[in-house]
Chain A
Amino acid sequence: MKKFFLLATAILVFGAGGLVQPAAAEKLRVGSECTYFPFNYRTADGVLTGYDIDVARGIMEIIGADVTFVCQKWDGMIPALLANKFDLVIASMSITDKRKQKIDFSIPYRISVGRFVGKKDANLNLFNKDGSPNPANFKGLKLGLERATTYANWVETNVPNANVMLYDTNEALYLDLQNGRTDIIMTNPMKAFLKFLSKEKGKKFEFVSPALDDPKLFGIGVGVGIAKDREDLLKRINNALAELIKNGSLEKYSLKYFPFAIHNENWEGVGE
């Protein structure tokens, strides 16, 4: 009886101690590429930073977990997640049906959009106030696109009568826009800003359309990847992301690198 009492006390003491302590120090490992400017990369001093990294830290702060980053090559990212090398992928991974078969995704924290770039002050009026394209004003304009991209699909769907020129690389798009061979181009606004508009050669040009999102064409966007059996954690991450959107943190993160936000504030598919 005495022995049983001792044992019971020991279980109680240790058990209770075990319950109190770890809750304060949940540890989550986040896989990222660490080489993808400006989303996840190291500065010259070797400090890991970028939009993805900021998002990861923001989420961890809200759910109260400690974060360790694990650098992982892109092509092994999903296998490493499935092998439990880390708990989450926060690495600019686009949400696709194919990936969804293997892993789960959070709501998007970065959206896939396309945007037109053209000469400043050209008054092209390509789009109406409500954001719908105005096909008549595309007439007579040469439109540069990358071959067989989602942007080409967008143009085919929305302005099929446009005069299109197809390019093989993103760089060639900017070259010919600059040279005047094309009047407008449609591409990824982040690329356009980093490679062209923010540079000297792009200073005579600007975005001439709103950010065009069409989940059917461009996909849903970029989300946090997580193994399939962790619905609890996924729910907490989704709530944290929703809060980061609401309190303006995501916008703050993107404004470090771009003059525009790169997430969708009106995302309605939360928890989908």
Chain B
Amino acid sequence: MNLQIYLILESIPKMLTGLGVTLQLLFLSAVLGLSLGIFLLLMRISGRWYLSLPAFIYIYFFRGTPILVQIFVIYHGFPQFEFIRDSVFWPILREPFGCATLALTLNTGAYVSEILRGGYLGVQRELHEAGMALGLSKLHRFVYVTTPIAVRIAIPAYSNDFISLLKATSLASTITLLDMTGASRTIVAETFAPYEIFISAAIIYMVMTFFIQRGFGRFEKYMSRYVKP
């Protein structure tokens, strides 16, 4: 095996053309997925079965199927139905970017809601009671007492999911999107040098992960400022 270092250096700039798509996919589906996750969490902890059961089924379904399958169902499966192609959603579903964002959002939403639930359940019972004793309303207790603590507890697990999401965006390359992996695969098909090119791609993903880790580390520190000395 003769590793051509210059190919690695040469291909990195070309790959960075896909970085924009990767970042857009990541942040868009992270924000939408977080909103969906919060919504699902509220359904699950509502204490009403007709809200928590659908949320439970949804989470079970999206955690129980591979994300690649979800992407394929949305991208290749949905357009088989005439009514979907005629619907108002078609402009989004027509675009591979829309399909990928939708699939990633739906998937990460399911995981995030479970992560947040873990944080919520980690808040000690006594704090609820203390809030009650202070005469805070249910809403105030949730917003001012439970949430800050739950978020702090959930950060490490959430950063995990965020990094997973970064790598899941690479699956978008299977539906024609030229994200970083898509760009790499095109270069591989032209240069027949999979080893060098995919190593370069791996390096870029690792650099991104490094910054994401640092970011979450700081956020965690900030949220824990009243806990640790």
Task: Determine whether the beta carbon of A168 is less than 8 Å from that of B85.
Answer: no
Residues from 76 to 124 in B contacting A, C-beta threshold 8 Å: 76, 79-80, 85, 94-96
Q: How far is the CA of A180 from the CA of B81 in the complex (A)?
A: 12
If A166-B178, A168-B174, A181-B96 touch, whether A148 touches B190 (CB-CB below 8 Å) is: yes
Residues of B within 8 A of A (CB): 76, 79-80, 85, 94-96, 174, 176, 178, 182, 185-186, 189-190
Q: How far is the CA of A69 from the CA of B94 in the complex (A)?
A: 50
Q: How far is the CA of A165 from the CA of B190 in the complex (A)?
A: 16
Task: Determine whether the beta carbon of B189 is less than 8 Å from that of A148.
Answer: yes
Closest 9 CB pairs of A and B: A148-B189, A179-B79, A165-B176, A147-B189, A148-B190, A181-B94, A166-B176, A147-B186, A167-B176
Nearest Cβ on chain B to A203's Cβ, whole angstroms: 16
Q: What mask results when residues 170 to 201 of chain A are scored 1 for a CB within 8 Å of chain B, else 0?
A: 00100110011100000000000000000000
Q: How far is the CA of A165 from the CA of B99 in the complex (A)?
A: 15
Report the contact-size class of chain A (Cβ under 8 Å from the partner).
10 to 19
Nearest Cβ on chain B to A243's Cβ, whole angstroms: 41
Nearest Cβ on chain B to A163's Cβ, whole angstroms: 12
Q: How far is the CA of A84 from the CA of B189 in the complex (A)?
A: 35
Q: Which residues of B contact A168 (CB under 8 A)?
A: 174
Q: Which of A148, A175, A179, A180 contacts B186 (CB 8 A)?
A: A148
Q: How far is the CA of A175 from the CA of B78 in the complex (A)?
A: 12
Q: Which residues of A contact B178 (CB under 8 A)?
A: 166
Q: Which of B80, B94, B96 contacts A180 (CB 8 A)?
A: B94
Q: How far is the CA of A180 from the CA of B78 in the complex (A)?
A: 12
Task: Determine whether the beta carbon of B185 is less than 8 Å from that of A165.
Answer: no
Q: How far is the CA of A165 from the CA of B172 in the complex (A)?
A: 13
Nearest Cβ on chain A to B76's Cβ, whole angstroms: 6
Task: Determine whether the beta carbon of B85 is less than 8 Å from that of A179.
Answer: yes
Task: Determine whether the beta carbon of A147 is less than 8 Å from that of B185.
Answer: yes
Task: Determine whether the beta carbon of B185 is less than 8 Å from that of A180.
Answer: no
If A147-B185, A148-B186, A165-B96 touch, whether A181 touches B79 (CB-CB below 8 Å) is: yes
Q: How far is the CA of A124 from the CA of B76 in the complex (A)?
A: 26
Q: Which residue of A lies closest to B176 (CB)?
A: A165
Q: Which residues of B contact A166 (CB under 8 A)?
A: 176, 178, 182, 186
Q: How far is the CA of A118 from the CA of B89 in the complex (A)?
A: 24
Q: How far is the CA of A176 from the CA of B95 in the complex (A)?
A: 11
Q: Which residue of A lies closest to B178 (CB)?
A: A166
Nearest Cβ on chain B to A245's Cβ, whole angstroms: 35
Q: How far is the CA of A166 from the CA of B186 in the complex (A)?
A: 9
Q: How far is the CA of A7 from the CA of B27 in the complex (A)?
A: 98
Q: Which residues of A contact B80 (CB under 8 A)?
A: 179
Residues from 21 to 72 in A contacting B, C-beta threshold 8 Å: none
